[in-house]
Chain A
Amino acid sequence: MIIKTYKGVFIVSSKMEEILEILEKNARAGVEEIALMLDMSVEEVEAAIKKLEEDKVIVGYNTLINWDNSSKETVTALIELRVTPQRGQGFDKIAERIYRYPQVKACYLMSGSFDLTVIIEGKNMKEVALFVAEKLAPLEGVISTSTHFVLKKYKDDGVIFEENGKDDREALRL
């Protein structure tokens, strides 16, 4: 049982993990709600969340949106990049020059036959293609790019988009 502390408040690490488990599924869960679910005080939950934020374990509270169901037009593309690592900096410097663009939703260093995966969102294919051609491909160190457009999202961040979620149990059973 590992104990973590935040400003004099002690929290067991298994409780920390359960807080993360709750927030990962529902970023809107309130501290009172969480305290009740985990048999903790509100102060403890607040301290735990502060600590998780400070330690950069919790790095944001995003809303998962299925843009396909909204009126806004969006396309998503996955770009495979091969790049030359830089002396003394490896891939970090070139990655940073890429992920700083707001169009870049995600950026990962990969093992295998290419180096970086870059996920781009744009209004349409043309916009994404232009971004790749004008911003990514010409960067110093980028050897090649390969663009794959997403046709349909089945599941994102652990959430299945077309789950019907209907409760088909018998309403009464002893």
Chain B
Amino acid sequence: MNLQEMIRPTVRNMPPSGIRKYFDLLNEMKDAISLGVGEPDFVTPWAIREAGIYSLERGHTHYSSNPGFIELRRQISRYVARKYNVEYDPKTEIIVTVGASEAIDIALRALAGPGDEVIIPEPSFVAYKGCTAFTGATPVIIELKEEDEFRLRPEQLEKALTERTKVVILPFPNNPTGAVMRADDQRKIVDVLKDRDVIIISDEIYAELTYSGKHVSFASYPEIRDKTILINGFSKAFAMTGWRIGYACGHPVLIEAMNKIHQYAIMCSPTTAQYAASEALSSCEDEVQAMVREYNRRRRVMVRGFREAGLSCFEPMGAFYVFPSIKSTGMTSDEFCEKLLMEEKVLTVPGTAFGACGEGYIRATYANSYENITEALRRIRRFVSRHRK
């Protein structure tokens, strides 16, 4: 038996990630500075870790109900109402998941299948296209542009919508570009979508990490509230990536459908993480704000650093990434990142890892210490001036 033949074609034919070679290069290298990480450098605040430890000491080591402890769902409901101005019933409209990742997966599996189209703005987080492909649905890519500051334009959305569109993914604040939506564009996008039979998956996991005023959730527009699945989680704002906990909110019919998949595939999100998340929501606002202030300071250093190195870099207002253009060097994204790593031991991610339209850009994370950031920027400046055309 040929084992390869046994793998479903959609899985077998999924190309291996273009970044694998960087892992191999890294393994042979000491003291490289990585700006390639997609998670906070902060360790989870102690109060949260302590709550997790305490739950273990008390022996809370069993399953929770499938959608998560009701008390945690009540807290999430209050948190989302307070922060993003949209109300969800904790009993029927919230599901606690294994990270936002699981929420993205089960939302897509509940909604999309062969023959359906899923609109995905790119550059964006790689899971949208991957998970869509596994459902058998067709990803329809919208290419976001630097001249639009990588925001989604209503005209672009209008053009991409067809009879077969089932799902529209709205990935803002965005990984990898750091783009956030502006209220005027958001309003127009709501107008485009409100009378269509499509479901919106709004991945707002970076909502707390915005630097230009308060985040406005797509779910807070009443006209589309019932057709929107709002996804958020604890990984980024609370520095809890390894705990694997997130959540989705939406109309009871949508959440019930997601819960059907979740109950068989996952059972429930880790209990320890649920207790920890509960503590996060009840006592960590100040620490989150302190982390946000720190990210914001590094963000300014990073943008300035790339510009001083001679690369054009639009000012990102969300997440913890910058997405400078490397077109002026004449190199492709991949060449740039590989050479930068080999010659200067600084790791960044080629924009193409987030979609073909990421060509000409690289992603650099400022979730790193100030010392590492300044040293990396020094090396990048040296590198760019050596290779300038």
Contact = CB atoms under 8 A, between A and B. Distances in A.
A171 B22 CA distance: 10
B301 A173 contact: no
A37 B36 CA distance: 21
Interface of B: 17, 19, 22-23, 26, 32, 34, 36-39, 41, 125-126, 175-176, 290, 293, 297-298, 300-301, 304, 347, 349, 353-354, 368
B304 A36 contact: yes
Contacts of B368: 167
B363 to A, nearest CB: 8
A164 B39 CA distance: 19
Contacts of B125: 174
| Top 3 closest pairs, chain A to chain B, by CB | A37-B297, A173-B38, A171-B34
Given A18-B293, A22-B297, A36-B304, A171 B349 contact: no
B54 to A, nearest CB: 21
Contacts of A38: 297, 300
Contacts of B304: 36
A36 B301 contact: yes
Interface string A128-171: 00000000000000000000000000000000000000010111
B281 to A, nearest CB: 24
Contacts of B176: 174
A170 B37 contact: yes
Contact of A172 (B175, B293, B298, B347): B347
Contact of B36 (A21, A167, A173): A173
A39 interface: yes
A174 B22 CA distance: 12
Nearest to A35: B300
B297 A172 contact: no
A169 B41 CA distance: 8
10 contacts: A36-B300, A37-B298, A37-B301, A167-B368, A171-B26, A171-B37, A172-B26, A172-B34, A172-B37, A172-B349
B300 A172 contact: no
A169 B32 contact: no
A170 B235 CA distance: 15
Interface string A93-110: 000000000000000000
A150 B242 CA distance: 37
A174 to B, nearest CB: 5
A171 B35 CA distance: 8
B347 A174 contact: no
Interface residues of A, number: 14
A22 B301 CA distance: 14
Given A169-B37, A169-B41, A174 B19 contact: yes
A167 B39 CA distance: 12
B41 A167 contact: yes
B349 A174 contact: yes
Nearest to A29: B370
Nearest to B365: A173
Nearest to B37: A169
Contacts of A36: 300-301, 304
Given A18-B293, A36-B300, A167-B41, 18 more contacts: A18-B297, A21-B290, A21-B293, A37-B300, A37-B301, A38-B300, A169-B34, A169-B39, A171-B23, A171-B37, A172-B26, A172-B347, A172-B349, A173-B37, A173-B38, A174-B17, A174-B126, A174-B349
Contacts of A174: 17, 19, 38, 125-126, 175-176, 349, 353-354
Contacts of B349: 172, 174
Specify which of A167, A171, A172 lies most central, judged by the most chain B CB atoms within 10 Å of its CB: A172
B41 A172 contact: no
Contacts of B290: 21
Contacts of B298: 37
A31 to B, nearest CB: 14
A18 B290 CA distance: 10
A70 B347 CA distance: 36
Given A38-B300, A39-B300, A172 B39 contact: no
A171 B347 contact: yes
Contacts of B297: 18, 22, 37-38
A18 B17 CA distance: 41
B354 to A, nearest CB: 7
Contacts of B37: 169-173
